[in-house]
Amino acid sequence: MSAPVLLVIAHGSRDPRHAATVHALVRRVRSLRPEVRVETGFLDFNVPSVPGVLESLETEGVRDVVALPLLLTRAFHAKADIPAVLADAPPRLRIRQAEVLGPSPLLRSALERRLYEAGLTPADKSSTGVVLASAGSTDPEAIAVIAEIAREWRHTGWCAVRPAFASASLPRTEDAVRELRELGCARVAVAPYVLAPGFLPDRIARGAAEADVLADVLGPSPEVARVVLDRYDEARMPVLAAVGA
């Protein structure tokens, strides 16, 4: 039995950097698991659309698909938008929706990778406060997850870690930066907990104007690609179990 097709579902954006980053991540995923077919679909703004990809797969005779939300938290898009789109898929497709990417220790490793690429070193951890800056959400579950990631990350040796949000929730990035300054951290770094550039990541960058270090978005980091494949494997396990039954 061939492996299910992995359909990576991204939000989409008018900012061309968003789609370019998504495609770069998908290329890295393919390089790690060349035997798995990986397709990309967007919910809005970009092509191909998710319905378009699903129709093409059905036409080709594909039957098993793992649909993976390219999202860091389980908020509205994962709970409502994506299930609604998948519910309208061609009926001959057997689709399993994978879990969102976060939280994961690998994503925390990706955050640290980006901070070190921006100029920090492991020796700086104890004197550096970090703003964990996410896009934000009206979903309390998503906000609680970000706060918990910040608490856990603090215990790995940083001076302090504070969550911040670019929309929908408080505090904003600039307020968290000031709080860490007042706390006495020798330097302040902003780590965007976002996957690709766009409107809200740009807002995070503006809020980091008074920080010492601004890391890049997570993008096509190897850790993110590995999480994508972990979620794919978790979602396809029931299929494999059924085959072996």
Please tell me the distance from the alpha carbon of residue 34 to that of residue 25, in angstroms, as a whole number.
14
50-109: pLDDT as tens digits: 999 999 999 999 999 999 999 999 988 889 899 999 999 999 999 999 999 999 999 999
Instruction: Find residue 164's DSSP bridge partners.
Output: 133
Contact 37, 70 (CB under 8 A): no
Mean pLDDT of the chain: 95
Residue located via tokens 């809020």 = 207
| Cα–Cα dist 221/29, whole Å | 10
Burial of 63 by CB count in 10 Å (0-12 exposed, 13-18 middle, 19+ buried)? middle
Distant-in-sequence contacts of 88-94, Cβ < 8 A, 24+ apart:
88/51, 89/51, 89/54, 89/58, 90/54, 90/55, 90/58, 92/58, 92/63, 93/54, 93/57, 93/58, 93/62, 93/63, 93/64, 93/65, 94/63, 94/64, 94/65, 94/239
Q: Kindly indicate the confidence band of residue 1, based on its pLDDT and cuts at 50, 70 and 90.
A: low
Q: How confident is the model at residue 83, as a pLDDT? A: 96
**In sequence order, what E strands does the chain have?**
5-10, 38-42, 64-69, 94-97, 128-134, 160-165, 187-192, 213-214
Q: What is the pTM of this model?
A: 0.94
